[in-house]
Amino acid sequence: MSEDRRLMVLRAIVQDYVQTSEPVGSKALVERHHLGVSAATVRNDMALLEEEGLIHAPHTSAGRVPTDAGYRVFVDRLSAVKPLGQGERRAIGQFLQGAVDLDDVVDRTVRLLASLTRQVAVVQYPSLTRSTVRHIELVPMGSSHLMIVLIVNTGRVEQRVVDTGRVLADATGEALVASIRSRINEVAAGVPFTVAATRLRRLVGEADEADRAALEAVVSALGDALVEEREERVVLAGQANLARAGADFPRSIGPILEALEEHVTLLRLLGQLGDDPELVSVRIGSENPVTGLQSTSLVSMGYGSGSERVASLGVLGPTRMDYPTTMASVRAVARYVSEILDENQAT
Amino acid sequence: MSEDRRLMVLRAIVQDYVQTSEPVGSKALVERHHLGVSAATVRNDMALLEEEGLIHAPHTSAGRVPTDAGYRVFVDRLSAVKPLGQGERRAIGQFLQGAVDLDDVVDRTVRLLASLTRQVAVVQYPSLTRSTVRHIELVPMGSSHLMIVLIVNTGRVEQRVVDTGRVLADATGEALVASIRSRINEVAAGVPFTVAATRLRRLVGEADEADRAALEAVVSALGDALVEEREERVVLAGQANLARAGADFPRSIGPILEALEEHVTLLRLLGQLGDDPELVSVRIGSENPVTGLQSTSLVSMGYGSGSERVASLGVLGPTRMDYPTTMASVRAVARYVSEILDENQAT
DNA sequence: ACTTGGCACTCGTCGATCGAGAGTGCCAGA
DNA sequence: TCTGGCACTCTCGATCGACGAGTGCCAAGT
């Protein structure tokens, strides 16, 4: 018995099951795929595949269904990522080109992914931790308040309002603001967050008595913004696609929707990518540590400007999904988004 | 036959049905509510209510279920918004107090509303059209690019990058940027968007030849930002609650999820509030113009800083919902959010 | 003029039964 | 090692009947 043929059978089972969503039997298999053997032979192979835990029969007399392990073998050894068509690629590029700012890029991306794959799309905002400060702007507001606007190299903008406890509207006040502005930009602009945070703290130590309080207020607010855990955000789209594929989920889709609202765990999931950031990562069913998502698969990939991977995006669907096509879409979108960020970076 | 009693019966039916989610019969009614009459009498009243189109029997021999019109009467005439408990109110206030910026306020609000009502929560971002410009900041980037940061009185921040076509890094460049900054802030700061847009355009006309091009680039980008339709954004939470209430939806919840992803139509819906902005607006089932949402009710209310209503928030659930409690929650949250915005406004 | 108890009737729900069909496992032969 | 054949298993869908909740209506009571 050739191992090769057994794998061919597995591949055929996966393909048929993905297409029809019904357990596939030996007879149907030999009809639809031209394996050069009879149904009985296929049955023997199936028995072995079942022993290996790659397929499984829902009950004694139904066809076979791939197990999570079966999909794993399929993804790793039996399928090639099928490249997207020319037209499709161009459509992606054009759709994303129109974006006007970072929010818009993320928003468009997540919708694009959802409609492309007809599944739930997840896009993580570029993380701050690996980012650098581009510029910090101070805007006086009211008599003693200051709005701090932090501009990040990924195009993201954070803002905070602090009370400096000093009158800023007069000439001395304006001079103070200008001085603080230039001092903090001098040490922080163009520098990674972690470095910026320590340098800013040092700056406070060196300041003379008069400015100390105001500078301290600004720096502490900036420090908050720099370490802020809310920095990590995700955006979702295509939840409706879950309902469409409702039959694929043993229980209802409720637990899945719940899991999707736990952005924190979603982020952790997206963070755990495979070894090679250039590769699409696939987590299948029970490989997935999150309760509620164990009947789903997550296809994800990192993206970012330059060679730096600043965040991830992906697609979540039933384990019974068309892996090659989905992987192709995710990869293509991740690359386009990276390109867009690169361009923004350059400006 | 007293009309009063008939309405009592309707109220009892609504209350029981909301609680049990099963058609309610005459016998169960007299047992659970102490109407001073017998089941037969109630049956007569029911027959009349059915003629009026306020209730409806799913089939010949089942209990009665309120129609959309029945809920309408219940909401308008038979129920009082039940005030929230002391502890609940305090919890709301504390939860929202912790917010660090506008994004955070909106995010917390939508989650709070979802968990409070156990339904789908919808929060619209404060709209730009009714807002005023607080400040416009210009940040040079690269040699000829300028980042424009528009700070709105609601705390929102928009940014754009434009190419001025001029070298900005040298002394003349810096002077130019400073001059543009002060000129646009002079005409636009503190002014409503619509006014700001026209004043800015006039400014371009008055500028002398040398600065014209750069100023024009900035103003046109600002104009975009000011009229931008994407300005209208909504955030959702609690979609999982739909699955929990799955039995309430005749078809699957798919169409509802789809409708929820159409942010544009959602926004239109939120925009159509009742006459009095201080009142909670309720749209019940088929009163709702959006396909896919006709088996749901939307409970919404405007919010905003000062007396100006800048946006809406609300809750979407099955028509079979606990209206008094939901309305109370929506109203309480809307008021707290308004307060928070007021405080931010003040600073 | 209402209200009430009684009663026949309607209809959907639930459970059991049964036949059809798909698919398997295994065996004997090539 | 493959193949054809065959008996067996198990699910699915349809059918049927008993059950019960709930109604509508009527005649009598207040």
Confidence of residue A245 (pLDDT cuts 50, 70, 90): confident
Residue bearing the bigger pLDDT, A165 or B235: B235
pLDDT in tens, A57-94: 888 888 899 999 999 999 999 888 888 888 888 888 88
Which residues in chain A have their CB less than 8 angstroms from residue B134's CB? 141
Does A253 sit within 8 Å of B243, measured CB to CB?
A: yes
Mean pLDDT of chain A: 85
Confidence of residue A28 (pLDDT cuts 50, 70, 90): confident
pLDDT in tens, A285-323: 999 988 889 999 999 999 987 666 778 999 999 999 999
Beta carbons within 8 Å of A126's beta carbon, 6+ residues apart: A102, A152, A154, A155, A156, A304, A310, A311, A341
Confidence of residue A334 (pLDDT cuts 50, 70, 90): very high
Confidence of residue A230 (pLDDT cuts 50, 70, 90): very low
Give the torsion sign (CA, B125, B128, B134, B138). positive
Indicate the pTM of the whole model: 0.80
**pLDDT value at position B229?**
44
**pLDDT value at position B275?**
67
Q: Is the pLDDT of residue A246 over 90?
A: no
Q: Which of B141, B243, B253 shows the shortest C-beta gap to A347?
A: B141
Question: Which bases on strand C have an atom closer than 7 Å to a protein beta carbon?
Answer: 1-6, 9-12, 21-27
Which residue stretches of chain B have pLDDT < 50?
Answer: 229-230, 347
B137 within 8 A of B149, measured Cβ to Cβ: yes
Q: What is the DSSP letter of A290?
A: S
CA angle B56, B61, B65 (to 5 degrees): 25
Length of chain A: 347
**pLDDT value at position B129?**
62
pLDDT in tens, A87-110: 888 888 888 887 777 788 899 999
Does B260 sit within 8 Å of A240, measured CB to CB?
A: yes
Give the percent of chain B with pLDDT over 70.
94
For A233-264, give the DSSP string.
-EEEE-THHHHHTGGG-SS-SHHHHHHHH-HH
Kindly provide the b/e burial profile for residues B155-178, where b requires at least 16 CB atoms within 10 angstroms of the residue's own CB: bbbbbbbbebebebeeeebeebbe
Any strand C atom closer than 7 Å to A46 CB: yes
Does B158 sit within 8 Å of A230, measured CB to CB?
A: no
